[in-house]
Each structure stands twice: as C-alpha cells, then as structure tokens.
Amino acid sequence: MGLYQNRIVIKVGTSTLTNEMGKSDLRSFDRLACVLSDIQNMGYEVILVSSGAIAVGTNKLKMKEHPSSMRMKQAAAAVGQCSIMHLYDKFFGDYDKTIAQILLNAEDIEQEEKKENLTNTFNALLEMGIIPVVNENDSVSYTEIESAERLFGDNDMLSAVVAVLCGAKQLIILSDINGLYDADPRLYPNAKLISRLEQIDETVYCLAGSAGSRRGTGGMRTKLQAASLATAQGIDTIITNGKRPQSIYDIVKGVNAGTLFVGK
Ligand SMILES: Nc1ncnc2c1ncn2[C@@H]1O[C@H](COP(=O)(O)OP(=O)(O)O)[C@@H](O)[C@H]1O
Ligand SMILES: N[C@@H](CCC(=O)OP(=O)(O)O)C(=O)O
C-alpha cells in the first residue's frame, strides 16, 4: 500500500495530558495544539489520537479514586471525552484550526464497509484542513478498558491501526518518557535510551515493563506492539516525550528524537 508522504499520526497518552493530581495539564494541551497546528501550516496532514477521557472524567466527577467498575469507567469516559474535546477545540481554535472527533470501536475496523466509510471520512476531513482527534468509543465498548481479547488493546494499538488505515508515513507516540530504554528507567536509573531499532523481537519486548504512572496504561509493551503493527506496513514509528512536543518539528524532517522503529 502506498503511504501519504505528508500524513502523520500523533498519539498522546493520559500521563502527558494530566498532572500528578490527575487534573488536566493545560500547558500540555496548549503546547501540543500549537506544534500540531504549526506542523499543519507547514503542509503536513495531522491526525491526533488522544487518550485521557477516563482520567479527565474521573477528575471532573470528583471521584476520589480511579473507578474500578466497568460502568463507572465508561461513565467517566463519557464525561471526560467532552472535556478533552472542549480543551482541544479551545486551544486548536487559538491557532485558527478546526478539529473533528472520531470515536472508534474494533468492529469499525473489522467490517469492510465501515472501514471504507471511515477512510472516506478521514480523507474528507484532511482535504478540508481539519485535524481529526481520535479515541476509542469507551462508553459503548470495553475492548480498550479491560477485555482479554483486544484488537486495540489500548490507545497505542489504536494509533497504529489508524496510521495503517490512513496510510500515514509516520506514527509518533508521545509518552511521559523520552523513548525506549534498555530497562525501565524508573527502576534502573542508569538505563540507556535506544535511539533506533530495525527489528522488534522477543529480546526487545523483554526490555519493556508496565505503565509508569497510575494514570497511564500498558507501559512500553503496548507501544512496542503498536510499533510492530505500523512498521510491518512500512510506517516509521517514533516514541518521544510528550512534554516536549517541539521535537515533532525534527521528527517530521527525519531527524531522530526519542526512539525510531524503522518501517519495513
Ligand atoms: N524499557 C522501558 N523504557 C522506557 N519506559 C519504560 C520501559 N519499561 C517500562 N517503562 C515505563 O513505561 C512508561 C510509559 O507508559 P505509560 O505509563 O503507559 O504512559 P502513556 O500514558 O504515555 O502511554 C514509562 O513511564 C516507564 O516507566
Ligand atoms: N480511551 C482511554 C485510553 C486509555 C489508554 O490507552 O490510555 P494511555 O495508556 O494513557 O494511552 C481514555 O481516553 O481514557
């Protein structure tokens, strides 16, 4: 399949969009909107895959703890999704950009007709210079939240699925860490950043531990699975730090920042 050389998918995790107290990190939202708007002004087509609905909803509902039941998680996601779209609309609006919301479930990708509709919608939005903001439709689906048989797994996987569906040239996964290290730096402070990988095999999976913050899910393992799916379709995948979205300027020009998984 041919890839669109100017089309980029960026995924941002909960840990980048919320602070230690679980509240929305407004500076992160603003910085991200600024860089992505600027990148679009430079001629790139931008698709944003954003997590954060459950965490932001949990905060808005003033729940004392992260909800443990499925129904409360889904309710929190329904509330939080509104809030994050409101914030994106506000910040992207400041940079004169229009955004659109696309909420997906696994079956939307599995059925050929739905898949085609979805691709047409993405293409129409991008042609009009609109920035689609994608999340899993958590309120009607549980694949993301806790199913054992998961296609998306979490939003890392969803971002790879979207990158493949849209024929993006690059998938950029923004995390709360600079990239993949040779061990989890939270446990091993001397761990070294790996700047480039041609192959994702079992030895690489062995380096990946679980999520770093209470707010993130999946940790590096799900990012490796996403990179594996995307690179198999020729899509370069980069993990980099969401607190410094300015590195996206380098990444789109092919300059390394974080960890690059080379597309095959
Ligand atoms: N080998 C590794 N290299 C880098 N980070 C790792 C590694 N193993 C585990 N991690 C953890 O993965 C975390 C990032 O994943 P996660 O918490 O799910 O964040 P996000 O919300 O950005 O998706 C890091 O903060 C880190 O603690
Ligand atoms: N759809 C969920 C995403 C959960 C998820 O994958 O979170 P993260 O590991 O921070 O990307 C939400 O919006 O809360």
In whole angstroms, give the CA distance from residue 241 to residue 174. Answer: 5
* Atom 2 (ligand 2) nearest CA: 51
User: With 70 as the cut, is the pLDDT of residue 218 above it?
Assistant: no
CA distances from 155 to 27, 51, 98, 240 (A): 22, 7, 23, 16
In whole angstroms, give the CA distance from residue 105 to residue 161. Answer: 11
Each residue of 96-132: pLDDT tens digit?
999 999 999 888 888 899 999 999 999 999 999 999 9
Please give the annotated binding residues for substrate, written as ranges: 51, 138, 155
Which H helix or E strand runs over 203? helix 202-205
Each residue of 60-101: pLDDT tens digit?
999 988 899 999 999 999 999 999 999 999 999 999 999 999
Q: Is 132 in the pocket of ligand 1 (CB under 6 A)?
A: no
In whole angstroms, give the CA distance from residue 56 to residue 79. Answer: 8
In a mutational test of the pocket of ligand 1, which residue from 186, 188, 205 has the highest number of ligand atoms less than 8 Å from its CB? Answer: 186
ipTM score assigned to the predicted complex: 0.96
Q: Which residue stretches of 111-217 are H helix?
A: 112-127, 155-166, 202-205
At 45 the pLDDT is 98
- Give the binding-site residues of ligand 2, using a 6 Å CB cut-off: 13-15, 51-55, 77, 135-136, 138, 144, 154-155, 216-218
In a mutational test of the pocket of ligand 2, which residue from 9, 51, 79 has the highest number of ligand atoms less than 8 Å from its CB? Answer: 51
Domains and CATH numbers, the chain: 4-261 (3.40.1160.10)
Each residue of 140-196: pLDDT tens digit?
886 654 544 455 668 999 999 999 999 999 999 999 999 999 998 988 999 999 999
> Which segment of 39-43, 73-77, 208-212 scores lowest on mean pLDDT?
208-212
* Atom 24 (ligand 1) nearest CA: 212
In a mutational test of the pocket of ligand 2, which residue from 81, 142, 154 has the highest number of ligand atoms less than 8 Å from its CB? Answer: 154
- pTM for the model stands at 0.94
In whole angstroms, give the CA distance from residue 81 to residue 101. Answer: 10
Residue 239 binned pLDDT confidence (cut-offs 50, 70, 90): very high
User: What mean pLDDT, rounded, does the chain reach?
Assistant: 92
In whole angstroms, give the CA distance from residue 7 to residue 125. Answer: 13
Ligand at shortest distance from the CA of 189: 1
Q: Is 207 in the pocket of ligand 1 (CB under 6 A)?
A: yes
In whole angstroms, give the CA distance from residue 237 to residue 97. Answer: 25
At 215 the pLDDT is 56
